[in-house]
Amino acid sequence: MTNKKWLSISEDEKDITVIEEKTDEWGSITSKKCEFIKSETGDFHKITITYSMKGLWELEKEIADNKFSQIEIPDGGLMLDDPGSPQLPQEGLFIALPDNYDELEISVVETESKVYKLKSDLIPVPKPTRDATLIVEKGEIYDKDEFYPGVLYKNFGVNKIGNVKTLHLMIYPVQYNPKAQTIEVYSKIVLEIKYKEKEDETSKKFRGYPVKKRKKRVPRMFRDSLLNLENI
């Protein structure tokens, strides 16, 4: 049995608004805006990423006579790596960097959030099984009076997408306190990414001359989601 409610987040409202009947996502739910500031003095270049969210689903589920709440963001993923831990939404960010980036720094510079009380414990990540049986058991985290996972992002490092160096971050916009049975929903997270550019021998030799940029080749599936691509 599953009941579904929409939790609407608005700047004009102090609290999260519960909408009992909602049949669609009303367009895009999350947005990722990117602003690039280039240093002309050899200091740090700066990328500002603004992640914002309009709302999310609250589902009430009954599994083996146990009632659970579940939180989902349309088109977002779920934290499923650690069986027994709370199943929370997550969303990946991909940020293009120049080939010669150096001294990468990442920080959270601004947030907006609201707290919401759940009716039941948040559903745990199920144990892996060989059949269709769903086994959910609460882990030690559920005894703690603190927000989980306790961080708003995780850095998965820099890899290449096509021929473009790309920083992969995972955003955790919902934090869960098991003891208080509350979630803190971040409707806005602003990240600041700073880096310098290393100067190799070729760059030094042609310093002051116009530089022809290398053609960027990115798989089609990443072209709309790769932030900062036009600035490298």
Segment 177-213, tens digit of pLDDT: 999 999 999 999 999 999 998 876 555 555 565 656 6
Residue with the larger pLDDT of the pair 144 and 213: 144
pLDDT at 201 (0 to 100): 58
pLDDT at 203 (0 to 100): 57
d(CA 90, CA 170): 7
Determine if the pTM surpasses 0.85. Answer: yes
Segment 9-52, tens digit of pLDDT: 988 888 999 887 665 555 457 899 999 998 877 789 999 999 99
Rounded percentage of the chain residues whose pLDDT exceeds 70: 89
Collect contacts of 214-223 with beta carbons under 8 A, ≥24 apart: 214/99, 214/163, 216/96, 216/162, 216/163, 216/164, 217/162, 217/163, 217/164, 218/161, 218/162, 218/163, 218/164, 219/161, 219/162, 222/94, 222/161, 222/162
d(CA 231, CA 129): 46
Rounded percentage of the chain residues whose pLDDT exceeds 90: 63
Residue 63's pLDDT band, with cuts at 50, 70 and 90, is confident
The domain 2-231 is placed in CATH, from the list 2.30.110.10, 3.30.70.260, 2.60.40.3800, 3.40.50.1820, at 2.60.40.3800
Whether the CB-CB separation of 45 and 195 falls below 8 Å is answered with yes
Whether the CB-CB separation of 34 and 51 falls below 8 Å is answered with no
